Structure 1
Amino acid sequence: MSHQTDLDTRTGLSDELLFLLRQYPRQAWDAHPNLGGMARFWLDRHNGFRQLGGVLEDALSRFREGEMEPHAFGAFFAPRLQQFLSELHHHHMIEDQHYFPVFMAAETRLTRGFEVLEGDHEMIHTRIEQVIASANGLLGHLQGTDRDAIRRAADGYAVDSDRLIGGLMRHLDDEEDLIVPLILERGEGPLGIG
């Protein structure tokens, strides 16, 4: 995988894939008449992932700093993590199976970008599995009294969580930079997604 496509090292998509973004920069999106209901819903979903990811990171940080007791942390954290991972998995399935093929057919010059995004989805799915495993380990340790074991499990989970959420944030920005300008140029109805 090249530096330009690697989820952990890239700083955005390549210039040749962002030709529509140059015509439709982010600051113009909200006011554009072609930003329809589907695109607004999709952007809201992305913002929900950003927000819930931040809530999870904050809770973990407070727990690791000793500001939350293990039982309270587990009760707060477990259902929110489950919601986050489940909704993320479902969101990516819909994109891969429905939206990405429509967008690739509509603008073949963006095909490489969608291939990068699909690769991101595979990597993110692998990271979801890692997060589930380390979260289960952490949650299991919360029932015990071994503070060192809890700390080690929290540290291990933090590494996996940082990789997942950091990669996801990069992916969400890149996905929006590719897709929203295409929607603004063509319109939801003509693209068949409205």
Structure 2
Amino acid sequence: AMLADAFGRDAEGASTFAADSTRAFEVETLELARKQPAFVASLEATLDAFLESGKQRLELNPMPRVQRKTVHELAKCYAISTISKDHEPRKYVTLYRTELSEWPSVRLSDAAKATGEAVAAADHAPCLWELCLHDVTCSEPVLRHALSFLDNEYSLQWAKKKDGLPPRVLLTFSSEQVARD
């Protein structure tokens, strides 16, 4: 909270990347996340626990169509396959782990906190160039040293994997030219 105050930010508000991350979700999904934050928090916790468990399959409880749609969309961020089964009103979603399943760099709960003003500003912001580095085995200082020729015209966002595997790093460049250099 003190750090947020120092930067003039609301500690309970959206993260710096939240406005830009709204692009990862459909408008209806963001609306549901804003109206039902407890459902989204529970769903994210369920997906996190599923990845931690090592299980290959998980059946969720029956839920309304709009919530199932959110499950399918959010599961894509985790690279988890899904399928709906049964008939209404007992229809439910089954999750399937894939070789690519991992924790997302974008969380629906964060994106839902973004205000309309922040989203509009992100939509008018210059296009940034992104490169995702998988299974990074060096430390952040070593990677920053290797990128020092870019004169800090980039940002790094580390996504540590909870299963002890090497992390993924999102490398964002300030322009296409910097990315191509």
**TM-score normalised to the size of structure 2?**
0.29
**TM-score normalised to the size of structure 1?**
0.28
* Greater RCO (CA < 8 Å, at least 6 residues apart): 1
